[in-house]
Structure 1
Amino acid sequence: MKNMVSVDYDINDYLPDDSPSTVAINVLEQEFEGGIPNARVMVSNVTIPQALDYKEKLEAIDGVSAVTWLDDSVDITTPFDNLDEKVVETYYKDNTALFTVTIEEDKRIEAVAEIKDLVGGDNAIAGSAVATADATTNTVSEIQTITVIAVLFVLLVLLVTTNYWLEPLVILIGLGVAIVINDGTNLMFGEISFVTNAAGSVLQLAVSLDYSVFLIHRFEECRLENSDPQSAMIDALCKSTSSILSSGLTTVIGFLALVLMRFKIGPDLGLALAKGVAISLIVVFVFMPAFILSVYKLLDKSKHKQLLPSFRRFGEFVRKISIPMVCIFLLIFIPSYLASNANNYYFGSSHIFGEGTRLGDDTAAIESVFGKSDTYVLMVPAGDTATEKELSNELHTLPQVSDIISYVDLAGAEVPLEYLDEKTISQLISEDYSRMVISVNADYEGQETFDLIQKIRDIASEYYPNEYYLAGEGVSTYDLMNTVMDDMLKVNMLAIGAVFLVLLVSLHSISLPVILVLSIETAIWLNLSVPYFMDTTIFYIAYLIISSIQLGATVDYAILMTDRYKENRQSFDKKQAVVQTISDVTVSILTSGSVLTVVGLLMGYISTNQLLAQLGLFIGRGTIFSLAIVLFVLPGLLYLFDRLIVQPPKHKIKHTRKQNEPKEQEA
């Protein structure tokens, strides 16, 4: 069923349906056959006749709906000295031709491949259609590589941290069942985003790993007290259900917060991940108990000595430095918050493929000759050519506008109107609208580009208030920026509030949820402050998504630490409870945390898609920050706020530091 789920690699498809650029694209598709130009093809060392020959060959490719070149704007039979130099150099410069191509959405991969074959490796092709086609073909193989390495790493970690040689296989089978079910049930969405397709399964593997590990370890503990395996499993379920559910629910809620995003990749990813964790919980409670009971005899036969040393000395070390670490924590959490909100961002897809990729190199090659450029389509009500001419004249005054192809521009130029063939006219005038194809010397995004788009909208509004439509890659990116920035506060507040509420109910404390959420949020701020200090521009979509993912995925470590500390405080004083807790939970936390870290870093260093790569680096680095705060800072916070979070034990504490010294020395 997974192979039946289609994947969408175009970021602009996830804009809200009511965003101006989305509405404009829908109107454009209804009124005109040709869509928005989405590719640029540069051919070097060609004469005018050779360039025209290339244009014909490009138009003949299946999936190419339109090709625009110099001959569509001016009469190329006229001596070049009599033509507008600015217009000519938009399409032809230094014996190099630049074609603006419109590629149909459902034929992008095949058409881009044919264009590459036509122009060869010495020429260049770039644009959003090329980025989408490359993402589609490259990501599938990259995901397979990431998944294989991730599974092998999980197997290695489990072999080291468990006490039975067959236990990793049992855990992986349970995880595999949950992941296969989740991938198959994505069919209910019809289509998923490339972010969900790339990150969904490996993230489900990483965040759900500890549920099965915790259950099987509880079962082993209960068997020491109860010789009947079925009764021992019932005891294990009773003792582990609360912890597993609280961890699972906080993770689900963290992911579900993404559903509130108007930018539809958020709901797409959030629903898939939340569903995946929920399925993992169901598998742990329904499938795993029966599966473990059916293979426990084989597990017993594969028992081996503990491979990892005791972490008691590590616990003593953490206890000694915990208060200084809390002081450092208090010093950095406000600066990290401020730095995390001061980054520079990419909002669209224009920088998804950078240096070292064919698309990145081709984009640089085109820009070195013709500069940065984009094409917008402006549609206004048809019938009033005088107003259209005034509008066109004012748009021409904008310094970034290099050329406008429209009915009034061609009719008023040296080219007689009757020279235009029916196909050309049909591309410029429909029954209801006139279309202006505006070439601009501007990047696909950035403040200058966004200012230009707003100026064009303001000018169009003067002549056609609430009656015009503007579309283009830069326009969609501008709307995307406005959409995702509006989502940030809403998504974060809901995620934090919902996780806080779950912790409040499950921990029966007001102070604990504050401590845990602040700890993980500080880890998130530290993670997001790194690009600021490194002066790195980040993808806002990755920035927006990681906050919910890191909160949902790593707050489990803080819950596990807190639960075990509260349990140990019934038998130990504060200092020894910290030591014992660190000794008890370090292996479990490092098992899950190391897997999530490696999964993220694999995405970061294997993905050629820079948005996915950056999201992966955020996940890997963020997990490291969360681990550091949970293992080194949280114990100190629990120690300092002990009176607020721990009920006094009903019996006198017998285990003091002095009484534990022989055990520590032995360890």
Structure 2
Amino acid sequence: MTQETRTESPMTKLARFIVDKRKAFYLIFTAVVLFSAASIHKVQINNDITSYLPSQTETRRGLTIMEEEFITLGTANIMVSNVSYETALDLSEQIAEVPGVSQVEFDDTDAHYKDSSALFTVSFDKEEADPETEAALNQVLQVLEGYDVYSSTQIGRDVSASLQKEMTVILAIAAMVIVVVLLFTSKSYMEVPVYLIVFVAAALLNMGTNFIFGTISFITNSIAVVLQLALAIDYAIIFCHRYMEERDNGLSPREADIAALSKAIVEISSSSLTTISGLVALMLMQLRIGFDMGIVLSKGIVCSMLCVFLLMPGLLMLFSKPIDRTRHRNLVPKINFWGKAVVRLRYILPPIFLVVVVVGAVLSSHCDYVFDANDTDFDNKPDWRIADEKVADTFGQKNTLAVLVPRGDYTKEGLILERVSQLPQISQATGLANQEVEDGWMLTDQMNPRQFSELAGVDIELARLLYQAYGLSVEEYGAIFQNPDDYSVPLIDVFEFLLEQKDKGVVSLTGEQEDKVEDLREQLDIGLEQLRGENWSRLVFVADVPTEGDDTYALLDEIRAIAQDYYGDQVILVGNSTNAFDLASSFSGDNMKISILTALFVMVILLFTFKSAGLPILLVLTIQGSIWINFSVPVLTGTNLFFLSYLVVSSIQMGATIDYAIVITNRYLELKTIMDRKQAAVEALSQSFPTILTSGTIMAVAGFLIGGISTDATIGSVGQTLGRGTVTSIVLVMTVLPQLLMLGDALIERTAITLNRDRAQRFNKGTMRLDGHIRGHVSGFVDGEFKGVLHGSVDALIESKYQERKLPGEQEDDTP
């Protein structure tokens, strides 16, 4: 009597459950995807990169104070080229008449008229973000219509909106490229709709669940979808290729789906660990935008894996017949010629590679990193950046710096303004202490009653009573017991006291006096709202220096030293230059942290994957070499690089492109057990080429599209660097890595960690069906992956996920 024993691994049972319950998963994913699509608008986008600075940095502390205590009215530097001075003067008068414009600065000095170009410094009544300010600016530009105009301003600069338009174009082009690549590398045309459904579902899941973080950065929001697609596309490809292999082995769609999924879950999970490890390293950055990008992209990887594991099996069953009907010949050519060339050059390329890696490491360490996106050498510039550069080239840099000091001592503020304004780099200094009210009087000048009555147009007796009342309110009783005309008070303080008493009805003014006081009130309000807060005073300087660099940082130190002469450590500097300095300070630590942690995480994962201490070194050396080569390119081309590009791309390049190296290494290790090393290397390259071609092409194209289309220097720089790094990794993996594997074979074997305790010794007679790994004697020695039927005597080490045995004339054997 024949008895059958069927044993299934837990992974096969899980795969069978997913495939059999596919309709339930259809309903679940439909509901979740609809919810996610409806939740996308709930995600808040943060356009301010400075908000991700550590809270203890000077820039972050200063910005917080300014947001709480001050307003910043809109301003614009508008340059008109090829215009005479008389015409420019007439235009300035027309601009001043535009509703919403409070002031226009223009004269015949080099600061405003130079080389037939006029520079109008326009101030507005409202804050930068106020719609009325943007409307007023548009009217100003209408006045200048027909002239050669360059407007340098933050007003109306909606970076997020323009990015969304650009990323929509990028995503559309990327989708077309992906479809073409998938059609070329697929075995059936109907695989592509399955891929697209899975990708769209995963993208919507990730985008729609970002609301759980409250706010994400504009950088993350812009590139997350494209990077998620590029990073996670491998998972769907691995699963689909497994499914097609099982179908080619004669299994039915259901059984092929189950068998493929049971294998793909482990393979994909292992592959994702290297990618996620790079993103985890990114999340540990001191600059919190790294956490923002890392957590969103990690969630995207998880969403992609869930869609592949839970949704895609059902889709393959649903499309199984169309997939079978639309099969086509393999369009990816065999590249044995390439593998043979690589093998022949195995003693030539590795030494060259090691030299290039050393040179790349040295050069990349000298890369000129910049910390203000507007300073990047980026060709695809938006109109506003072109305008900024035109104005700077003609009239010099307009680098604005705010100095915050404790409120209350106008004399100290005046001394700081006077000393700093004498520095040769400073073109403008503004504070309450140098705001002229009338006839040379400044807001903070000391005034006696007679001087105040003349300035404010009030009666002298009223002025004396006002001074006495003020002295009583601040407990300065000398104002009462001495001659009031000898009592002096800062103009700003006594004027505010007058307005307070007037508003209370204590002081009554005549019509002419009322008009004069209201005019002064308007001037006072403009100055106070921008320059004096509840606890701090703000001094604003404009310097003709770049945003960053040694000269700029030396100027910051000089200004800080002057202010500290009067206020000690209670001085805070804020501006684009201090922001660049703080970012530069955190970069060195983040740079080292990400490089070490990413390599360490990946090496640990590879150690457990390949059970060899030497093999991870060869793989990481290959990818780290590609990273060094990638970041030596800016040095060789004499261009700079935005610092965030290095931090983001180095972690993604190591975490994601290491998968290419893993694919080839896995193939090589399997093949060398049944053929010599040269043949194994040639065949490994040929078998791995379709996977690397598909994944690598998509990631490289995604990067180059972002870099070529986006006008945002931050995102464009990341895209360019990612595309270049992916291509570099592919080239090294397809050339140097197989050579290192062959030459380092002895190292790999000697550092191997044998973990065979879980492999049971089997002694069976009869017929055994298995799907797994076998090593030993089967009427001859066998070592390799085997799918089929063995008949005879077996004496071997077996690792099998599925077995079915027939033992004639014997009791059922429960051996696992």
The match for 1:385 is 410
Query: For the residues of structure 2 that align with 1:585 and 1:600, how far apart are their CA atoms?
Result: 22
Query: 1:233-255 CA distances to partner (integer Å, 9 max, x unpaired)?
Result: 23222333332112111111112
The match for 1:405 is 430
Deviation at 1:591, TM superposition (A): 1.0
Deviation at 1:309, TM superposition (A): 2.4
> Where is the helix percentage greater, Structure 1 or Structure 2?
1
Q: Secondary structure at the match of 1:192?
A: strand
The answer to whether 1:494 aligns with 2:597 is: yes
Query: For the residues of structure 1 that align with 2:671 and 2:135, how far apart are their CA atoms?
Result: 63
The answer to whether 1:518 aligns with 2:518 is: no
The match for 1:477 is 580
- Alignment check: 8 A CA contact 2:371 2:584 kept: yes
The match for 1:665 is none
Structure 1 vs Structure 2: percent identity of aligned residues? 32
The answer to whether 1:621 aligns with 2:643 is: no
- Alignment check: 8 A CA contact 2:163 2:222 kept: yes
Distance 1:229 1:307, change over 3 A: same
AA of the residue aligned to 2:64: N
Q: Secondary structure at the match of 2:209?
A: helix
Query: 1:604-649 CA distances to partner (integer Å, 9 max, x unpaired)?
Result: 2212223322221111111111001111011011111223335797
The match for 2:449 is none
The match for 1:32 is 70
User: For 1:271-420, what aligned pairs fall within 5 Å after superposition?
Assistant: 271-351=295-375, 357-410=382-435, 415-417=440-442
Query: 1:342-371 CA distances to partner (integer Å, 9 max, x unpaired)?
Result: 111221132367676422332233124321
TM-score by length of 2: 0.72
Distance 1:544 1:50, change over 3 A: same
Query: For the residues of structure 1 that align with 2:352 and 2:337, how far apart are their CA atoms?
Result: 22
AA of the residue aligned to 1:627: I
Query: For the residues of structure 2 that align with 1:116 and 1:263, how far apart are their CA atoms?
Result: 38
Query: For the residues of structure 1 that align with 2:212 and 2:290, how far apart are their CA atoms?
Result: 17
Query: 1:386-414 CA distances to partner (integer Å, 9 max, x unpaired)?
Result: 22222222212311112212222236996
- Structure 1: stretches of 5+ with no match in the other structure: 61-66, 72-79, 656-667
Query: 1:490-518 CA distances to partner (integer Å, 9 max, x unpaired)?
Result: 12211111111211222222111111111
Which of 1 and 2 has greater Rg? 2
Query: For the residues of structure 2 that align with 1:640 and 1:653, how far apart are their CA atoms?
Result: 26
TM-score by length of 1: 0.88
The match for 2:772 is none
Query: For the residues of structure 2 that align with 1:114 and 1:608, how far apart are their CA atoms?
Result: 26
Deviation at 1:466, TM superposition (A): 2.4
Deviation at 1:415, TM superposition (A): 2.1
Worse overlay, 121-130 or 493-502: 121-130
Query: For the residues of structure 2 that align with 1:408 and 1:128, how far apart are their CA atoms?
Result: 27
AA of the residue aligned to 1:585: S
Distance 1:98 1:470, change over 3 A: farther
User: For 1:631-642, what aligned pairs fall within 5 Å after superposition?
Assistant: 631-642=734-745
- Alignment check: 8 A CA contact 1:127 1:350 kept: no
Query: For the residues of structure 2 that align with 1:49 and 1:104, how far apart are their CA atoms?
Result: 26
Q: Secondary structure at the match of 1:372?
A: coil
Distance 1:472 1:116, change over 3 A: farther
Aligned residues: 632
The answer to whether 1:222 aligns with 2:260 is: no
Distance 1:268 1:106, change over 3 A: farther
- Alignment check: 8 A CA contact 1:20 1:470 kept: yes
Query: For the residues of structure 1 that align with 2:677 and 2:151, how far apart are their CA atoms?
Result: 65
In structure 1, which of residues 566, 584, 589 is the aligned counterpart of residue 692 of structure 2?
Answer: 589
In structure 2, which of residues 138, 144, 150 is the aligned counterpart of residue 124 of structure 1?
Answer: 150
Distance 1:142 1:564, change over 3 A: same
- Alignment check: 8 A CA contact 1:247 1:555 kept: no
Query: For the residues of structure 1 that align with 2:438 and 2:629, how far apart are their CA atoms?
Result: 58
Distance 1:549 1:283, change over 3 A: same
Distance 1:4 1:505, change over 3 A: same
Query: For the residues of structure 1 that align with 2:421 and 2:275, how far apart are their CA atoms?
Result: 53
Query: 1:11-36 CA distances to partner (integer Å, 9 max, x unpaired)?
Result: 3333223321121122122222336x
AA of the residue aligned to 2:374: S
AA of the residue aligned to 2:524: E
Query: For the residues of structure 2 that align with 1:118 and 1:270, how far apart are their CA atoms?
Result: 47
Worse overlay, 22-31 or 152-161: 22-31
Query: 1:410-451 CA distances to partner (integer Å, 9 max, x unpaired)?
Result: 369962235853213413334433322212112222322222
Distance 1:40 1:480, change over 3 A: farther
In structure 2, which of residues 699, 707, 715 is the aligned counterpart of residue 612 of structure 1?
Answer: 715
Distance 1:629 1:58, change over 3 A: farther
Query: For the residues of structure 2 that align with 1:392 and 1:574, how far apart are their CA atoms?
Result: 76
User: For 1:50-65, what aligned pairs fall within 5 Å after superposition?
Assistant: 51=92, 54-55=95-96, 57=98, 59-60=100-101
The answer to whether 1:41 aligns with 2:84 is: no
Distance 1:304 1:70, change over 3 A: closer
Query: For the residues of structure 1 that align with 2:381 and 2:56, how far apart are their CA atoms?
Result: 37
AA of the residue aligned to 2:61: V
Query: For the residues of structure 1 that align with 2:245 and 2:351, how far apart are their CA atoms?
Result: 37
Query: For the residues of structure 2 that align with 1:216 and 1:10, how far apart are their CA atoms?
Result: 42
Computed over aligned residues only, the root mean square deviation of the Cα atoms, in angstroms, reads 2.9
Q: Secondary structure at the match of 2:187?
A: coil
In structure 2, which of residues 207, 232, 236 is the aligned counterpart of residue 183 of structure 1?
Answer: 207
Query: For the residues of structure 1 that align with 2:152 and 2:380, how far apart are their CA atoms?
Result: 13
The match for 2:538 is 435
The match for 2:555 is 452
- Structure 2: stretches of 5+ with no match in the other structure: 1-38, 443-454, 457-519, 755-774, 784-816
Distance 1:497 1:101, change over 3 A: farther
Query: For the residues of structure 1 that align with 2:429 and 2:625, how far apart are their CA atoms?
Result: 51
Query: For the residues of structure 2 that align with 1:468 and 1:575, how far apart are their CA atoms?
Result: 68
Q: Secondary structure at the match of 2:631?
A: helix
- Alignment check: 8 A CA contact 1:504 1:513 kept: yes
Distance 1:527 1:354, change over 3 A: closer
Distance 1:235 1:415, change over 3 A: same
The answer to whether 1:18 aligns with 2:120 is: no
The match for 1:167 is 191
The answer to whether 1:156 aligns with 2:180 is: yes
Q: Secondary structure at the match of 1:57?
A: coil
- Alignment check: 8 A CA contact 1:382 1:433 kept: yes
User: For 1:69-84, what aligned pairs fall within 5 Å after superposition?
Assistant: 70=105
The match for 2:683 is 580
In structure 2, which of residues 16, 36, 43 is the aligned counterpart of residue 5 of structure 1?
Answer: 43
